[in-house]
Amino acid sequence: MDVTEEVASEPAGCSASTRVAIDWDILAAHAVTEADIRAFLPPYLERTPESRATIFAGLGIAAFQRALRLGIFLAMRPVVSKSASLDQAEVDRAYHGCAASYDWKHHFITRGMDTQWRREAGWFTLATSREIESGATLRVLDLSTGTGLTAEAIADVLSRANVPAQVVGLDYNESMLAIARRREGMRGNVNVVFVRGDACRLALPSGDENLEDPMHESFNAVTHVFGTGCIARAESVFDSVLRVLRPGGRYFLVDVHRPLAWQAGEFPFGWRWWRLPRLESETFEQTTVPLVLKRLWAWRDTTFDFYRLRLATHRDAIGRIWGFRTLHFDVQSVRWWLGIPILPVGRISVEKVEIGEAEASKREVIRQASGL
């Protein structure tokens, strides 16, 4: 394969504005080694991308950004302003306004790839079903379910595999749920229901801490396909997931990840394949985050959520400490419209496992030292 690369310096992961700044003094004070932290935070999160390009390449990238932003404005209508704070009320208003067109809009912008990610969630739950007792009903919770597309895709996979299951789709926005409830009902031996709730407080029904928690350790699998970006504190979600998953239960997360310069995507032009890490990085910074994510979807950059997830811990009522063990994690550059890879997607699956005091303490020190 003939691949031509934009001239770029060696490995970088995130831009200077979002790289992790690790306080090594905190780590040293708690005897946490570099090997300990690298198990959770790879070196590319600390490095600043550096790339060199000719004047003509720089002008070409600038022209591409202008054309891309113009095309987005002409084709789609931003739902929030440039100065949006993306608090809960603003996000809720944004999705009230776009609920009716959400399915079409998401399918159009992703060039139909959203269907693939939703089906992956379905196959993930099918794999999880093989880890439970034969004949038992698989219980699946789909967070930020929106209009119910992912819950529906999960039910389709499970019903065709003849797996008895209940799929619960949860979302905060009533307008999105009104559409999702049209997808309720039985599909073979899979029951699909939708409920309103807050992904950050799954264990506190009705806001009353004195009530018994009916969701405690009640699900075999939790899925989250493009959902953490509209939540300000994703770590609260991960704590809630640890509460509601059964021991050995699994969590599947798919969302946006920043470009990794050392594995820039390829696209065809003429008779060659090209890698343009600077184009990917600058497009993400100048167009994807401020316009596509923030203004079209009321979304934030979710890159660090993949790493916060692995540091999450939860102590239950009888003193056991739970955390996540990573089963799979990957970041892939995805070809969007015109076949140009300008927005990578991350996918991670983890398992709920019991951890000791020392491991929990180490994870908390790493979280504090990294600011995550």
Query: In angstroms, rounded to a whole number, what is the distance separating the alpha carbons of residues 265 and 272?
Result: 13
pLDDT of residue 82: 58
pLDDT of residue 342: 76
| 183 strand-pairing partners | none
Residue 102 in contact with residue 131, Cβ under 8 Å? no
* Residue 4 binned pLDDT confidence (cut-offs 50, 70, 90): very low
Residue 259 φ then ψ, to 5°:
-60, 145
- In one letter, which amino acid is 276? L
* Residue 75 binned pLDDT confidence (cut-offs 50, 70, 90): low
**pLDDT of 48 over the 70 cut:** no
Going by CATH, does the domain composed of 3-370 fall within 2.60.40.1250? no
- The Cα-based distances of 187 to 155, 183, 353 in angstroms read 7, 10, 32
Question: Could you read off the pLDDT of 157-172 as tens digits, one per residue?
Answer: 999 999 999 999 999 9
Q: What mean pLDDT do residues 198-203 have?
A: 81
pLDDT of residue 205: 46
pLDDT of residue 53: 59
- Write down the domain spans for the chain: 3-370
Question: Could you read off the pLDDT of 122-131 as tens digits, one per residue?
Answer: 999 999 999 8
Question: Could you read off the pLDDT of 282-300 as tens digits, one per residue?
Answer: 888 878 787 777 777 777 8
Q: What mean pLDDT do residues 30-41 have?
A: 90
DSSP string of 83-144? T----HHHHHHHHHHHGGGHHHHHHHHTTTHHHHHHHHHHHHHHHHHTTS-TTPPEEEEEET
**pLDDT of 63 over the 50 cut:** yes
pLDDT of residue 119: 95
Nearest to 264 by CA among 330, 333, 334: 333
* Residue 80 binned pLDDT confidence (cut-offs 50, 70, 90): low
